[in-house]
Amino acid sequence: MIPLALGLATVLLLVSVPIFLVFGIGSALIASIDLGLPWATLLQVSFAAVSKQILLAVPLFIFAGYTMVKGGIAARLVNFCVALVGHWPGGLGVAMVLAMGFFAAFCGSILAAITAIGTILMPRMVEEGYPKPFVVVLAAMAALLEGLIPPSNAAIIYSSLTSVPVSHTFAAGIVPGFVLVVLLAAYVSFRCRNVPRSPKASWSERGRRFVAAIPALLTPFIILGGIYSGLLTAAESAAVAGAWALLIGFLVYGELTLRGLRDALVATSLATSAIFVIIAMATFLSVILTFTQAPQHIITFLTGLGTGPVTFLLMVAVACLLLGTFVEVVPVLYLVVPMTVAALVPMGVDPIHYYIVLSAFVGLGMLTPPVCVGLYTGAAVIRLSPEKAFVELPPFLLLGILYGILMILVPAFATWLPGHV
């Protein structure tokens, strides 16, 4: 039955059946027929998986992000970043990277980041001479910061699958996120050095735009300050972020309307349901792994080969790159983490370091066809055929792979800050 179920799941995936059905049908067949588990048990485990208190933070952070998009925060962040670095070589591209980094600090959705920042900045970049394919791929690549800089949905989900506190996974992404910002900014400045530069903003204009962006820039301190002070859990901090977004949108900037709030609620509902239905179905796979003791077999196999931590992480990185080509971030996490987390201690790998390596390589799936959701979203913003953007993919993929290898070889990027919080 197992070969039949795996074959069926592969066929369903190749014909573009939604990934939650691929998980559900293949795993349910093995669990109910091959292992003889009752459906009631599968449903109970599935309900328990989506009822974890930590996962409540996911829809709340997504809501905060979409509300800030509708409330005018993204525009002020972009204006501030352009005033700050717009006159640099490739300045508008660097501004996009910075704006994505700032937006990552209070948004739980990668696609929301591309839409919010890209809608404002991408058309302007095209008007000032940046190639359209480059602009699209840069937006998708910069959005990978959402998976590193807290609050990150990937960090929340990883913590729900492991025993790592979410405060540690949040802290783990800060330094690697900063490193990615620096690498992207350096590449953009070099790649676009011949593109005409924007006029340099005066210090008074920079000051005005900084003051306008202060409510947005305060958001990360409110979110993370509540968590690391011990006053708030991740879910409570996410709720505060949503309330803060409403306050800014309605009272500070005055740009959030009831229609905008409705749109933010609808977008949050759609994004949350897409994530949670995958979690519910992927739990079937976790049941199978438990009953078949697959993680234990993996540990025995790896230790028998004498595999070291670097080799182990490189093997996982290759697997994540391949899986990310066909499925999105959340399914990859639910495929890889349950099978490999038990091997971390025998392999001598820190779970926090492992999270950053996973985030680095799984996130590249946002760029690689045929799925490449981030690239399709960016292309839609400026009405470019996604296939035309593929020409700019190789250098960004190479940069992403080199960044991931750097994260593997230097664990301190991931582990230093969590060790001090």
Q: CA 74, CA 64: separation in Å to the nearest integer?
A: 12
Average pLDDT rounded to a whole number, residues 377-386: 87
* pLDDT for residue 144: 79
Cα–chain center distance at 275:
12
Cβ-Cβ contacts under 8 Å for 15 (sequence gap 6 or more): none
Q: What is the pLDDT of residues 241-261, one digit of tens each?
A: 999 999 999 999 999 999 999
Contact, 291 vs 283, CB < 8 A? Answer: no
- Residue spans of the domains in the chain: they are 2-420
Contact, 285 vs 23, CB < 8 A? Answer: yes
DSSP character for 384?
-
* pLDDT for residue 355: 95
* pLDDT for residue 68: 86
**Residues found in the chain:** 421
Q: CA 233, CA 227: separation in Å to the nearest integer?
A: 6
**Number of helices followed by number of strands (H, E) in the chain:** 23, 0
Residues 361/362/364/368 CA torsion (nearest 10 deg): 120
Average pLDDT rounded to a whole number, residues 134-145: 88
Question: Over the chain, what is the mean pLDDT?
Answer: 86
User: What are the distances in angstroms from CA 157 to CA 174, 288, 314?
Assistant: 17, 20, 22
pLDDT exceeds cutoff 90 at 97: yes
Q: How confident is the model at residue 401 (pLDDT cuts 50, 70, 90)?
A: very high
Cα–chain center distance at 419:
23
φ/ψ (deg, to 5) at 350: -70, 130
Amino acid at 352: I
State the CB neighbour count (10 A cutoff) for residue 43: 13
Global confidence as pTM: 0.89
N-terminal to C-terminal alpha carbon distance within the chain: 48
State the CB neighbour count (10 A cutoff) for residue 342: 16
φ/ψ (deg, to 5) at 146: -60, -30
Average pLDDT rounded to a whole number, residues 71-88: 91
Does residue 370 have a cis peptide bond before it, meaning omega lies within 30 degrees of 0?
Answer: yes
pLDDT exceeds cutoff 80 at 129: yes
Q: CA 402, CA 407: separation in Å to the nearest integer?
A: 9
Contact, 61 vs 105, CB < 8 A? Answer: no
Q: What percent of the chain has pLDDT above 90?
A: 42
Average pLDDT rounded to a whole number, residues 44-69: 87
pLDDT exceeds cutoff 70 at 299: no
